[in-house]
Structure 1
Amino acid sequence: MLILPVLAAVGASSGWATGIVLAQWPARQLGAFEFTRIQLFACSAILAALVSLLGYWTTIEWAYWPAFIASTVIGIVLGNLAMIECLRRGGPRRTELILSLKAPLVGVMAYVWLNETPGLNNIIGAAIALFGVGLAVFFGSDERSESDRTTGSLAIIIVLGITATAFQGFGFLVVKPAMQAGTDPLAVSALRLLGAAFLISVVALWPAKSFQPKAFVTPYLLGRTILPGFIGYGVSSTLLLYAFSSLDAGIAAVLGSLSPVLILPILWLKEGLIPRFQAIAGAFLAVAGTSMILLL
């Protein structure tokens, strides 16, 4: 196993754990749509400039354009809208715990596309992962924590999280052949973000109330919105795309799903509250289950 792709996937997990904690406050202020729109515009501009400076546009294999479109629409636009709404309602810990199911979902997709069937270890691993996520989501909350307070139905939070997980996993997996054909992961990230920014700008022309910002965008709020977006879209997504291009999709997904474990010490440092035992146990079970599915 190559060390750089492994470190890239773990680095992606660290970035997402940090970014999602930073994103909760601005996401609640702006609403899911406006928060996502600002992030996509800012991050696509930054990555496009960087790819142009490095000359990576020439690496894009345009024969895979349907995969790029599918990854953009499903993986970024729909997946991230669902994720941000899940974050607003359920907080960063619950969101990351549900997103840890990305590994088994990606594994199922890979099995389907490769005409493979899961073995007993896959089934047992999925059960462990689901139990771990359920344990942490249903019994691991801590209402002393501002980040742990929920808004609305827990069932809706879970549905939003699973939807986001499936869509994002599909978005990464579908562009793997393009990267294996030589497309640079940074160029893929920039292309996906530019497409998503264009789509969301078109949708924003519809004068619906749900598409309007819930708060006035101050320079401070703008900066707090762009920072986690760059960490997530720019850094973490590119790192995981690189891992997907160099490793088995399942292994990359497992290593990119360590955020539930990494987010616990971040919240501990941020709020000074030791996570409850159920949260710690559920996080480790979720990662252990996904590891069993795809590493054994």
Structure 2
Amino acid sequence: MRPEALALLAAACWAVAALFSAPASQRLGAFTFSRWRMLFASLILWAIALTTGGWRSLDASALGLLAISGVIGIFVGDTALFACMNRLGPRRSGVLFATHALFSAVLAWVFLGESLWGWALVGSGLLVGGVMLAIVWGRRGDEQHGWEQTHGRLMTGVALGLLAALCQSVATLMLKPLMTTGIDAVAGSALRMSTALLAHGLLLATGWAGARAVAPMRLKDAALIFGSAAVAMALGMTLILQAMKHGQAGLVAVLSSVTPILILPLLWLIYRRRPAGGAGCGAVRAGAGTAMILA
């Protein structure tokens, strides 16, 4: 399968998982939610890596880079994203996180020598612009549900969203040279996830109040977190690493940024409310950009 298609599938995984994630994350708190999600994802990934033998592709030279990537992208980035979502909701946190496509394109050009030209460049511009347009103008004026409310300071939420986007870009791009060596994507994801989980465990062991659960875990919470871990982390992140093996890092990042576009119709299904007109315009623009890239 083409790396571009893998990136789009990863975006779809993240969109679906966002619906599982928001209720449990808001109830338990970002740190507790992330910790449990990483535990479930680690168990799933290691079970697959051990069954398929993919763990044999890991060597000592790769362990350090995978571990650092896990701390930056998952421990810091993923936790910051859900802290942002708890404050701003999935729609507005989505537009902030979508900036990782811009960060990735610039960093890939600076550090990897990659550049986008021709229709790929035009399509990338249309896609990113469409994503931003759909999210910024994706709310109807009469929407009052909890996912559209601001909890806490607005600028804190904005800063957390941008931090999550930057961490996602840095952590993914630093793995590009490593993934081309033939490391199994599932095993690589498992090691990154386990390292991030260890960092979360150490933070909890310090006794910092912010790392503790806001509310006790319920069976419903556990089911939602497991679904989020399986779809977003075990499947979505593995698809991104697989795409990195053969695709341009910047282009993969741009295509994976369509997650917010895919969230809009899912929110429509949940709340039975048609998105605002700007969301439709943005989705058409993003679709046109995607078609240019894939052509």
Percent of pairs with identical residues: 31
TM superposition score normalised by structure 1:
0.87
Rounded to whole Å, the distance in 2 between the matches of 1:72 and 1:254 is 21
Change (3 A) 1:243 1:29: same
Give a deviation string over 1:154-175, Cα, whole Å, max 9, x none: 3332221111111012111111
Tell me the TM-score normalised to structure 2 length. Answer: 0.88
1:50 aligns with 2:16: no
- Is residue 258 of structure 1 aligned with residue 258 of structure 2? yes
Select which of 68, 73, 90 maps to 1:75.
73
Q: Which amino acid aligns with 1:20?
A: A
Query: In the alignment, residue 254 of structure 1 is paired with which amino acid?
Result: V
RMSD between aligned residues: 2.8
The CA distance in 1 between the partners of 2:256 and 2:31, in whole Å, is 25
CA pair 138-96 structure 1, distance change in 2 beyond 3 A:
closer
Mean alpha-carbon deviation: is it higher for 91-100 or for 147-156? 147-156
Which is further off, 153-162 or 31-40?
153-162
Say which SS state the counterpart of residue 204 (structure 1) adopts. Answer: helix
> What's the CA shift for 1:116?
6.5
Partner of 2:158: 158
- Residue in structure 1 matched with residue 194 of structure 2 by the alignment: 194
Higher alpha-carbon deviation: 76-85 or 282-291 = 282-291
Higher mean C-alpha deviation, range 108-117 or range 210-219: 108-117
Alignment of 1:239-250 (within 5 A): 239-250=239-250
1:116-131 matches, within 5 Å, as none
Residues 50-199 of structure 1 mapped to structure 2, 5 A cutoff: 50-115=48-113, 135-136=133-134, 138-142=136-140, 143-199=143-199
Of 28, 43, 47 in structure 1, the residue corresponding to residue 26 of structure 2 is: 28
Post-superposition shift, 1:177?
1.5
Indicate if the aligned counterparts of 1:61 and 1:181 stay in contact, CA closer than 8 A: no
For 1:168, what is the secondary structure of its paired residue?
Answer: helix
Deviation at 1:138, TM superposition (A): 5.0
**Cα 1:161–1:286, aligned 2, differ >3 Å: closer, same or farther?**
farther
Out of 15, 18, 21, the residue aligned to residue 17 of structure 1 is 15
In the alignment, structure 2 segments of 5+ residues that lack a partner are: none
* Letter in structure 2 aligned against 1:266: L
Q: Deviations over 1:74-96 (max 9, x none)?
A: 01100001101111111112222
User: Structure 1 residues 11, 289: closer, same or farther in 2, change over 3 A?
Assistant: closer
Which residue matches 2:207? 207
Letter paired with 1:102: H
After superposition, the Cα gap between the structure-2 partners of 1:148 and 1:171, relative to the gap in structure 1 and judged at 3 Å, is same
Amino acid aligned to 2:232: G
User: Shift of the alpha carbon at 1:259?
Assistant: 0.9
Contact 1:106 1:250 in 2 (8 A): yes
Q: How many residues align?
A: 293
Query: CA distance change for structure 1 residues 115 and 131 in 2, over 3 Å: closer, same or farther?
Result: closer
Which segment drifts farther, 216-225 or 25-34? 216-225
The separation in 1 between residues aligned to 2:93 and 2:248, in whole angstroms, is: 25
Please report how far the alpha carbon of residue 252 of structure 1 lies from its aligned counterpart in structure 2 after TM superposition.
1.2
Q: C-alpha separation between the residues in 1 aligned to 2:148 and 2:195?
A: 33
> Which residue number in structure 2 is paired with residue 275 of structure 1?
275
Of residues 204-213 and 30-39 in structure 1, the stretch that sits farther from structure 2 once superposed is: 204-213
- 1:60: how far off? 1.4
Question: For the structure 1 residues 291 and 86, does the alpha-carbon distance in structure 2 shift closer, same or farther, using more than 3 Å as the test?
Answer: farther
Per-residue CA deviation, residues 99-154 of structure 1 (Å, 9 max, x unaligned), is 22222211111111135788899999898777656655555434334332332333
Q: For 2:119 and 2:5, how far apart are their aligned partners in 1?
A: 25
* 1:216 match: secondary structure: coil
**Structure 2 vs 1, CA of residues 178 and 134 (structure 1 numbering), >3 Å: closer, same or farther?**
closer
1:61–1:182 contact (8 Å) kept in structure 2: no
